[in-house]
Amino acid sequence: MLFSIDDILTSEELKFFIDSLSQASFIDGKTTAGWHAKVVKNNQQLDKKTPEAEALREQVQCILKKNALFQSAVLPKIIHSVLASRYEDGMSYGTHTDNALMGDQEFWRVDVSFTLFLSNPETYTGGELVIENSDEERSYKLKAGSMIVYPSTTLHRVAPVTQGVRLAIVGWVQSLVRDPANREILFDLDTTRRSIFAKDGKTIEFDLVSKTYTNLLRRWAE
């Protein structure tokens, strides 16, 4: 399932990220790319050994933990990898798919990816996130403080930046539910029961939908 979350950052949170990254040390993005992605990856990323990287990771995890849409749709077991990336004139990231597993000594499955846009779209040219489907491809260039969430299984790329600077935070999640179709069923059920509760309170219908949601989650969760 692919979806966007507008204004997931407050203006204060957005300023925190931009201020932190303006003084941070960036390195060649190829250092974390898979062997085949190195060929097409041309960007910079925040050095994960710096204090800014740890603070960024913790802040992103905290923000996503509080976001009801992200929690319901993704069912995160762990947000295991978070990076800040920067694209300047001429930089891009060619077509690739994210690694199935990430980690050093402990490995986590990569089910869901996200991109949190930090730069206002009018401040740079190009730099769209392009996600391919079986019959089409779509481009995304969201306003600063908004996020796109998409399956890690897709082929995707970042179009060349031809002017300005594209600053973003990218991350990867292992979900409690491996199968994306099952996650979508659970999301639909959760959305339905919340709608019933908001309209009519705790009714028999709410209880039955909640029972189905809970038992399917119990069956599918890993």
The reply, when asked if residue 36 is annotated as ligand binding, is no
Hey, which residues does 83 pair with through a beta bridge? 170
Take residue 53 and report the two structure tokens written for it: 């990287």
Q: Which of 10-14, 47-51, 120-124, 161-165 has the lowest mean pLDDT?
A: 47-51
Q: Where in the chain is the domain with CATH 4.10.860?
A: 180-220
| pLDDT at residue 93, as a whole number | 96
Mean per-residue pLDDT for 14-26? 91
Is residue 207 very low, low, confident or very high in pLDDT (cuts 50, 70, 90)?
Answer: very high
Is the pLDDT confidence value at 204 over 80?
yes
| pLDDT at residue 45, as a whole number | 94
| 91-113 as b/e: b if 16+ CB within 10 A | bbbeebbbbeebeeeeebbbbbb
* CA 150 distance to own-chain centroid: 7
Q: Where in the chain is the domain with CATH 2.60.120.620?
A: 3-175
Is the pLDDT confidence value at 171 over 90?
yes
| pLDDT at residue 11, as a whole number | 95
Q: Look at the block and give the residue holding tokens 């930090």.
A: 118
Which CATH superfamily groups domain 3-175? q2cbj1_9rhob like domain (2.60.120.620)
Take residue 97 and report the two structure tokens written for it: 């798919």
The answer to whether residues 172 and 149 touch, using CB atoms and an 8 Å cutoff, is no
pLDDT digits (tens, 9 = 90+) for 24-54: 889 998 887 777 778 899 999 998 888 889 9
The reply, when asked if residue 98 is annotated as ligand binding, is yes
Alpha carbon distance 97, 39 (integer Å): 13
| 51 membership: H or E segment, kind and range | helix 51-66
pLDDT digits (tens, 9 = 90+) for 99-132: 999 988 889 999 999 999 999 999 999 999 999 9
pTM score, whole prediction:
0.93
| pLDDT at residue 169, as a whole number | 97
By C-alpha distance, which of 219, 217, 194, 216 is closest to 205?
194
DSSP string for residues in 62-123 = HHHHH-HHHHHHH-EEEEEEEEEEEE-TT-EEEEE---SEEESSSEEE--EEEEEE-S-GGG
Is the pLDDT confidence value at 22 over 90?
no
Mean per-residue pLDDT for 70-87? 96
CATH class for the region spanning 180-220: few secondary structures
Alpha carbon distance 212, 55 (integer Å): 39
The reply, when asked if residue 156 is annotated as ligand binding, is yes
| pLDDT at residue 50, as a whole number | 85
Mean per-residue pLDDT for 152-165? 97
| pLDDT at residue 48, as a whole number | 83
| pLDDT at residue 60, as a whole number | 96
Is residue 89 very low, low, confident or very high in pLDDT (cuts 50, 70, 90)?
Answer: very high
Work out the mean pLDDT of the chain and round it to a whole number.
Answer: 94
